[in-house]
Chain A
Amino acid sequence: MDYIDFGRWLERGAFALAALTVLLGVMGALARDRRFVRAARNSLVLGGLAVTGAAAVLVSAFFRSDYRLEYVFGYSERALDPVFKFAGLWAGLQGSILFWAMILGLIGIALAWSFRKRSLDPSGRRLEPWVYVVFAAVQCFFLAVISFVADPMAPISPDLVARMGPSGAPGGVPADGSGLTPLLENYWMLIHPPSVYIGFILYTVPFAFGTAALISGEFSSYWIRTTRRWTLVAWLFNTNGVILGGLWAYEVLGWGGYWAWDPVENASFLPWLPATAFLHSVMIQERRDMLRVWNSLLIAATFILTIFGTYLTRSGIVSSVHAFASGSVGDWFFGFLMVLIAVSIFLIFLRMNRLRSASTIDSVFSREGVFLLNNMVLVAIAAAIVLLTLWPKISNDLLGNPISLGVPVYNLVCTPFFILLLTLTAIGPSTAWVRSPTRRFVRNLALPAIVSLPLAAGTLHLAYVTIRGGDQGDPVSLAQHIYPTGIVAFVGWWIITSLAYEVWRAVSATARATGRPFVGSALRVITGNNRRYGGYLVHVGLAMLAIGVVCSSMYRVQSEVNIAPGTKQAVGPYEIEIADVQRDVPVSAYRATRMELDVTRGGSTVASLTPETRFYRQTMYRSEPVNMTIVQIHRQLSEDFYVYFQHMRPDGSALFTIFRNPLINIVWLGWLTMIAGGLFAAAPIGRGRVGLAA
């Protein structure tokens, strides 16, 4: 048996094992027989190993340059760097689905292992078989797509071989592949897609637990604790994936920005919204045993949106450079989506009476009330983004009016929602459970608000006057200084200062009560409740990100600069000069035109940048020539000096587009702060209290 045939057998075997897991889980649950449940667990593990083996076979085919497989031919070539051969696993549609199934399989193994330790918990024991059923049912879907519709181990099509002729494909096998799109030969290709996929896939676990709870009627605190932990880990990967996507776009696409509301960007962001809502509202369920229906809906919505996002990229219904639609895969995903929605709604209605709680929200000015409003805004943002993403399709197919929607529309609609969300983020931590005493509530927020005003004004002055240089480039109107720039900067600082005040009060109270020094008290307070203070750090990161986004977007300076050799051009406080030009330099797979630019400021050299263009010629295996440009970025905490080489002009001068992005690195620092906060919140330290509803 050829190793490829073995790989195909592993794919089919994994599908069979997933189906068996479903069957054994159902039997174990209905018959209440632990033998069936253990068998389901073992089947889940074996299925995970089988699909991982299949993925390993595909990776092996990449490293062997085995172009008998059309997928390997389409995303690899002999000269490709080995790390990108590995990344070929997720570069295309078929491989990405196998990669998804592999991650799902590995998570299934972890899930089975966690149940093996927790199987003595009566509540967990009752949930376990149904968790396997739901999880394995999702696995069945992906493995069925691989087996019947989008097999990465499908042989190369005879038509493709015939087009290459005997010289290109001796013995019916191409001598080389068409290679990875040069745009993807980038270290981000190794980091961003796996992070997005892992985040998406991890949402399957809370969905499995939530659905299992609805099926079994088991609504104990065990379910909510477990679901929250898995959701937090998934949320971390999702957050990472979304931001890394923006960072990749910033470094690659050459337009000086990082988020263009591309449908696939939106798809990666959508699950983040209900997941964030869930991580907040689950606290209400933990403490006050409320919002069980709502939390069930959020968990289902999060997972459904991951499938929806996957459907968008693989169905061809939306226009995106990220999309890779193929055949009937979109129809399969649409069908799965409809089944998920129908089953989730049915189960929630079925259990509505069991889910309803006797507890109530006593005051809007309470933590529960603010969390509920926060949830409302997050869900509204998700609904807005879904509507705007699908509107061109709806307008074209249902209204007969083909249109497109650009960034300004998204910004116009979504900005008020985000400002509202940030405001609630500033208010929320200062509220108390059940009811906030009015005077205390106002005092906790008023002082930080007063302090935030000059901080926001100072930030705007720093970004606009000091860094940007005032009216460089396109002028910014007073209205734009206020909305959205000033308002976002104020609310961002309000978040930071109100949290700082909150922490200071808690630490001071502990220091007074225990007699410890301030630093010791701070360590005790923060490490004693890492969930809370990790969450606070996430909020600080969000505030930093918001301030960085608004300043870098609204105060960006764009200049088109034509530089003749031997001359200097001024761009704000900088001067740039071409130090060297190398034209048409042959490199392994392309020809390059390279520049060496000296960037000076105040007479001192601050950077030496080397923008270049690359030309990949058309070959027998590469069906189209490819041109690409290497962006060069000089990074500073205050701003980025971003150089995009447009082209050479007939007179020998070179045309560049140069962006100066004030405070853009605060965006990335904010992201890192969010991740650090999330990791701290998830860390198994502190007292690990669940809350009164445990």
Chain B
Amino acid sequence: MLRSAIAVVFAALLTCALAAPSFAEDEASGHGIPGMSEDGSILISQLDVDTRRRVRSLWSRIVCACPKENWSKTLTNCPDGCADQQKQMVLFAVRAGQTDEQVLDQQLTNFGPKVLAEPDGPIPYVMPFVILFAAGGVVFIAYRNWSRSAASRPRPAVNASDAELDAVARELEEIG
């Protein structure tokens, strides 16, 4: 029964994996853009390379204020027309010579503190590494306790050398 079940699982997963690309012709669906752009809007393609890069960097630091996105996307991955006005604000501000901080302050003034895609303070940046080091500490303490426990147990009369362990490992490889 288990083998039959596993065979069914194989078939299902293979079907999913193989069917998906065959459906994936050059067509999909996405979000929408309404209407036409206003005259006077700036095209990012009209900017020089460094300014374009600066604008995209700013877009990645600003959260899309579209109500339906619910503060879940940055301007970078919010291609909807509803984000166009916010993106144009950034473009106009940059072209007017404002610094990054001034651009972000303008966004804060217009949309509130949630518009910034960065935490206020170091805790979210630091805490994961604190967790990693704490976990490392636990592993270190466990390993030290194991080592002490192993040292207190009687050892075999002969310690295997590296060459002997190497030979054993090769034999195990041959066995599989």
Contact = CB atoms under 8 A, between A and B. Distances in A.
B117 interface: yes
A404 B75 CA distance: 13
Nearest to B115: A404
Interface of B: 1-3, 5-6, 9-10, 13-14, 16-17, 19-21, 23-24, 26-37, 39, 43-45, 49, 52-53, 56, 60-61, 63, 68-74, 76-79, 81, 112-120, 123-125, 127-129, 131-132, 135-136, 138-139, 143, 146-147, 149-150, 162-163, 165-166, 169-170, 173-174, 176
B77 A626 contact: no
Interface stretch (A63-71, A170-178, A236-244, A336-344): A236-244
A376 B173 contact: no
Nearest to B131: A383
A244 B150 CA distance: 47
Q: A-B pairs with the 9 shortest C-beta distances?
A: A406-B117, A627-B32, A251-B28, A384-B128, A360-B146, A255-B77, A437-B162, A628-B32, A380-B132
6 contacts: A360-B149, A384-B131, A432-B165, A510-B176, A631-B30, A646-B81
Contacts of A309: none
B146 A404 contact: no
Contact of A560 (B44, B115, B132): B44
A352 to B, nearest CB: 14
A647 B71 contact: no
Given A408-B118, A630-B28, A387 B33 contact: no
Interface stretch (A14-22, A54-62, A139-147, A409-417): A409-417
Contact of B128 (A251, A387, A528): A387
Contact of B49 (A182, A262, A440, A475): A475
A679 B131 contact: no
B170 A186 contact: no
Given A401-B120, A407-B117, A655-B43, 9 more contacts: A240-B13, A240-B16, A360-B149, A403-B120, A404-B63, A405-B124, A407-B60, A648-B36, A649-B37
Nearest to A686: B176
A10 B14 CA distance: 33
A263 interface: yes
Nearest to B59: A406
Contact of A684 (B6, B14, B162): B6
A335 interface: no
Given A236-B13, A361-B143, A413-B124, A631 B131 contact: no
B31 A629 contact: yes
Contacts of B69: 321
B37 A114 contact: no
A510 B71 CA distance: 58
Interface in A352-377: 360-362, 364, 369, 372-373, 376-377
Contact of B124 (A323, A409, A559, A635): A409
Contacts of B128: 380, 383-384, 387-388, 413-414, 417
A660 interface: no
B146 to A, nearest CB: 4
Contacts of B45: 559-562
A236 B16 CA distance: 12
B17 A626 contact: no
A525 interface: yes
B79 A402 contact: no
Contacts of A255: 76-79
